Amino acid sequence: MDSIHKLNVVHRYEKRSLLIAINCIAGLSILFFGYDQGMMGGVNTAYAYYTLMGFGHTGPDGGVVVDDTLLQGGIVSVYYLGTLVGCLIGGSIGDRYGRIKTIFIGAAVGVVGAVLQCSAQNAAWMICARLINGWGTGILNSIIPVWATETAEHKSRGQFIAIEFTLNIFGVVIAYWLEYACSFYGDGTSSFIWRFPVAFQIPMLVALMASVFFFPESPRWLVKMGREDEARYILGRLRGNQGEEKEAAEIEFQDIVASCELERSNFRKQSYFHMLFGVGSGKMHTGRRVQLVIWLQIMQEWVGIAGVTIYAPTIFGIAGMSPAKRQWIAGLNNIFYMFSTLICVFTLDRIGRRWTCYWGSVGQGIAMALAGGFSYLGKQATLDGDTSKAASYGNAAVSMVFIFTFVFGATWLTVPWLYPAEIFPLEVRAKGNAWGVVGWSIGNGWLTLLCPIMFEKIGEKTLYIFAACNAITIPMVWALYPETNQRTLEEIDLLFASDSIWNWEAEKNFARLREEMDEYATTTGAKTDVEHGPSRKQSLVRSVNLHVESAKPE
C-alpha cells in the first residue's frame, strides 16, 4: 500500500500484535490523562505552591490550612473548563482531518500548557496555564477512545479500552508517589517539590507526538473520506488476510461502507448544536445519544470518584488520620485502585456495560455510606477523648474508601468512556465522543469546585451525597441505556432507531430490524456471498432504510 508510509507499523504488525501496538500508543495518552488528574492532589499540599498561589497556610500539625477554598477549587476546576472547550475542538478536527492528526495537535497543546504550569509565578498565571493544559487534554480525550474503538474488534472492544484505563490509574499512581517522594526534598519549602511533578508530564506528551504518525489511521474514518483502498488494507491487517479472517474483514468493511452511505443519505449537516437537539438526524436520534453520554459522564464523577481522587487526604483527615499517615494511605489506595481495573478487562465484554454499572453502583453506594458513617463515629470518639475507638472507626472509614475505589476501578471507570465512543454514527463519532468529554468536564469541574466547600461545610456528610448519587444511577442505566456489548459499531445505529427513549423499546425495535435484515439477506443470498460487497451493502442499506426513510429530513 504505497499511500501509507513505509515506516508505519501497519506494514510490520497484524491482527492482535497490531491492536496491541495501537493500544500502547492510545494508552500513553490515557497514562498522561491519569497523571494529569492525579497531579493536583499533591501539588495542592506543597508549601511553596499554596503560599505562592495565596490560598492557604501551614497549620499546627504541619498540614495545609486552606484560607480560600474557592481559589483552591477554582485553580483545579478551571482545567475542566479547558477540557470542555478542547473536546469540542478535538471532535470537529477529528471528524474532518482524522484521528492521528488530532492526537498530535492535542499533545502539542498539552505541552504548551504543561510548560506554562511548571513555570507559573502567581494564581492568574496558573489558572491560564491550567486552562490551556485542559484544552490539550480535552482534544486527546475526545479522539483517543474513538480511535481505539474503531480499530478494535467488536468482541473485545471493552477489553482493549479497559486495559487503557488500567494505564490511566497507573498515571494517577505515578503522580501520587512522585509527589510524595518530592515532598522530602530539602526542608519541604522548595518550589521543586511541585514544579518537577508538573513538568514530568511533558516527556509523555513529547513521546506521543513523536510516535503517533507511525500508526495507522482509523479505517472507518478513511471510508468516510472516500479512501477505501487504504481502509480495506488497514482493516485486513487488523483482522487478518487469510481464509475466514479475510472474509470476515471484507464483511466488516462492506458494513462500514453501507453504514457510511446510509448516514450520508439521512443526515443534514451535523454541528454540535444540531447534535445536541437532534436536528436533522431523523431516526438516528443523535440528540438522545448526546444526552445519554453527557449524563453518564456527569454521574461518573458524582458517584464520588472525583472527591476521592483529589481529596482523599481530606477524607482521611476527617477519619482522624495524621497528615503524614494520610499521604501514604492515599497513595496505597491508588495502587489498590489500579489493580482493580484489571477486573474490568476480563468482565466488561462478558457481562456487558449495563451489568457492570449495576454492580458497581451497589458496591460504591454501600461503601460511601459506610465511609461517611464511620468517619462521623470517629470524629465523635475523638471529641470524647477515646483515641482507641477513634482509631478503629478511622481505619474502618479508610477501608470503605479502599473498597469504593476498588469497585469503581472495576466498573464505572471504563464504561462512561467506552459508551460514547461506541454509540454514535460514523459521520459524527468524534463529535459525539466529544459530547461525552463535555459531560465529564461538567461533572468533574462542578465537583472539584464544590468539594472543598462541601468538605468544609458538611464534612463527612459529603460522602452520603455520593452514596445517594450511586443509588440514582441504577434506575437511570436500567431505563435509558441500551446494551452495546458484542454489537458492531454499525449495528448500533439499529439499536437507536426506536422513537422511544426507553431501553426495552429500543431492544424490541432492534430485534425486529435485525430479523428483517436477516430475512432480506437470506432472500437475496447476500449473507453468504461475501465476495460480492455490493450485494451485502444493498441488503444492509435497504433493511435499515425501511425504518429511517419516513423520518428522512426534507
Give the tens place of pLDDT for each residue, 350-367: 999 999 999 999 999 999
Average pLDDT (57-69) is 78
pLDDT given at position 456: 80
For residues 244 and 38, give the distance between their C-alpha atoms in angstroms, rounded to a whole number. 45
pLDDT given at position 448: 73
For 40-52, the pLDDT digits (tens) are 878 888 889 989 9
| Class level of CATH domain 17-217 | mainly alpha
Helices (H) and strands (E) in the chain, counts: 22, 2
Please say if the pLDDT value at position 398 is more than 60: yes
User: Which range scores top for mean pLDDT: 193-207, 273-287, 378-392?
Assistant: 193-207
Average pLDDT (334-353) is 91
For 484-530, the pLDDT digits (tens) are 998 888 888 888 988 999 999 999 998 888 787 667 656 655 544 44
Q: Which residues are paired to 57 by β-bridges?
A: 65
Position 104 confidence tier, pLDDT thresholds 50, 70, 90? very high
For residues 12 and 522, give the distance between their C-alpha atoms in angstroms, rounded to a whole number. 39
Cβ pair 396, 418 in contact under 8 A: no
Name the fold adopted by 284-484: Growth Hormone; Chain: A; (1.20.1250)
Greater confidence, 127 or 255?
127
Stretch among 35-39, 248-252, 280-284, 375-379 having the lowest mean pLDDT: 280-284
Greater confidence, 431 or 513?
431
Cβ pair 162, 348 in contact under 8 A: yes
Greater confidence, 98 or 447?
98
Position 534 confidence tier, pLDDT thresholds 50, 70, 90? very low
3-state SS of 388-434 is HHHHHHHHHHHHHHHHHHHHHHHCCCCHHHHHHHHHCCHHHHHHHHH
Average pLDDT (320-333) is 75
Query: Which residues, in sequence order, are CB contacts of 308 under 8 Å at separation 6+?
Result: 315, 333, 401, 404, 405, 408
Please say if the pLDDT value at position 540 is more than 70: no
Please say if the pLDDT value at position 380 is more than 90: no
Greater confidence, 293 or 426?
293
For 226-267, the pLDDT digits (tens) are 999 999 999 999 998 888 888 888 988 988 888 888 777 766
Secondary-structure percent of the chain, ordered helix, strand, coil, rounded to 5: 80, 0, 20
Q: Which three cell numbers stand for residue 545?
A: 432504510
For residues 353 and 300, give the distance between their C-alpha atoms in angstroms, rounded to a whole number. 14
* Residue 210 CB-density burial (10 A; 0-12 exposed, 13-18 middle, 19+ buried): exposed
C-alpha distances (whole Å) from 545 to each of 262, 353, 493, 542, 552 are 8, 28, 11, 5, 9
Domain residue spans of the chain? 17-217, 284-484, 487-522
Average pLDDT, the chain: 86
For residues 273 and 282, give the distance between their C-alpha atoms in angstroms, rounded to a whole number. 15
Average pLDDT (123-138) is 94
* Shared fold status for 17-217 and 284-484: yes
Percent of the chain with pLDDT over 90: 46
pLDDT given at position 97: 93
pLDDT given at position 527: 46
For 459-482, the pLDDT digits (tens) are 888 889 999 999 999 999 999 999
Average pLDDT (148-173) is 88
Cβ pair 457, 118 in contact under 8 A: no
Please say if the pLDDT value at position 531 is more than 80: no
* Residue 115 CB-density burial (10 A; 0-12 exposed, 13-18 middle, 19+ buried): middle
Cβ pair 409, 376 in contact under 8 A: no
pLDDT given at position 320: 64
**Angle formed by the axes of helices 429-458 and 461-480, nearest 10°:** 150
pLDDT given at position 269: 67
Average pLDDT (171-184) is 89
For 437-464, the pLDDT digits (tens) are 899 888 887 887 788 788 888 888 888 9
